[in-house]
Amino acid sequence: MLLERLKAIEDKYNELTNLMSDPEVLADFPRYQKYSTEQAEISEIVEKYKEYKKVLADIKDAEDILKEGGDEGLKELASAELSELKGKKPKIEDAIKLLLIPTDPRDKKNIILEIRAGTGGEEAGLFAAVLFRMYSKYAESKRWSVEIIDINSTGIGGIKEVVASIQGKNAYSRLKYESGVHRVQRVPATEGSGRVHTSAATVAVLPEAEDVDIKVNEKELRIDTYCASGPGGQGVNTTYSAVRIVHEPTGLTVQCQDSRSQIKNREKAMKVLRSRLYDLEIGKQEKERSEERKSQVGKGDRSERIRTYNYPQNRVSDHRTGLTLYKLESVLEGDFDEIIDSLMTHFQTEKLKGI
């Protein structure tokens, strides 16, 4: 099955090579560029396939020498080569399978990060603030930029909800598995008895959508403007700079009051709205591919409890990969590439099962 698939890809590569040498195609630059891009996308697989075919041929040659008998010295060389080739073969197969995993076109996108306090009252709001700081620190370590779009703070330093844009190379590919319920176990700052409480916050990571990804009909929007306010309802300014946008077909509501400029707030709110609508559309497509989705165990759905942060034990546990680290303070300072890398490996392995 794998060889048949690889043969079909190689045939396609050769077909594209022939097309690109056709005078008609050479005279049509957009067409030539299209074929060139298609060929480039499969060139690495074709090179690995050629390497794989050579290993298979060399294995057969070595086995034939051993079957034929004859010179003992030659047989000894063939036996050593066969052992080396049989060790090399599965490694090439694994490399090919990784190359065959479809790339996610959203991986290179910037993201919209949404964090909301869950169960746990004031402590959940404090934990949401800790999570936002953690992701901000991580973004800083990657030299990504973080821009707050909307934030609803509590009076004691917590966050009821924050929406932010994170822009940087491969931001979505690194953080896309962070969506879900994050649970914390610690003695709350609001608790005087010293008992360990459990509270939670939800994280949503959306690929930032552009106009080409999702078209928004302006006639389907209800846009309200109002005076921005701070924690506890205190006035921030007296101009109608804050913007609330309602997408009437879906009921999605987005608001932004971070800037003193109504135009900038509207631009930021539209950025979030497009990303939420894009996420809804992707969700519909994934639902239609339900069989594929069932095969991808632990998709990272936002309804799942994905990670626990235990302060008394200095422990962070990811419930999808089973990875446990005893360096909570370091993780909360944004040092969690080890967690991200294990998640990426885990989900790649799940996808490999379908190849």
Query: What is the domain count for the chain?
Result: 2
55/196 same-domain check: no
Q: Quick check: is 87 in a domain? A: yes
For residues 202, 207, 209 and 213, what is the CA-based torsion angle, rounded to 10 degrees?
-130
**Same domain (yes/no): 204, 329:** yes
Question: What is the bridge-based pairing of β-strands 159-167 and 111-117?
Answer: antiparallel
The reply to whether 172 falls in a domain is yes
How does DSSP assign 25-37, residue by residue?
HHT-HHHHHHHHH
Average pLDDT over residues 279-306: 57
Residue 8, domain CATH: 1.20.58
- Cβ atoms within 10 A of the Cβ of 176, count? 21
- Are residues 35 and 137 part of one domain? no
Q: How far apart are CA 23 and CA 32, in angstroms?
A: 10
Is 236 within a domain?
A: yes
In a domain, 136, yes or no: yes
In this structure, are 145 and 126 located in the same domain? yes
Q: 162 and 33: one domain?
A: no
70: left (phi over 0), alpha (psi -120 to 50) or beta: left
Can you give the pLDDT at residue 293? Answer: 35
Q: What are the two backbone dihedrals, phi and then psi, of residue 147, each rounded to the nearest 5 degrees?
A: -130, 120
d(CA 17, CA 11): 10
pLDDT in tens, 119-154: 888 999 999 999 999 999 999 999 999 999 989 998
Q: Confirm whether pTM is higher than 0.75.
A: no
Cα 272 to Cα 166, 201, 265, 318: the distances in Å are 12, 20, 11, 28
Mean pLDDT of 239-243: 81
Q: Given a cut of 80, is residue 162 above it in pLDDT?
A: yes
Domain that holds residue 91: 2-100
In a domain, 105, yes or no: no
Within a domain: 294: no
Residues 22 and 77 in one domain: yes
User: For 66-98, what is each residue's pLDDT tens digit?
Assistant: 888 678 888 889 899 999 999 999 999 888 988
Token representation of residue 96: 């090919």
Q: Are residues 121 and 87 in the same domain?
A: no
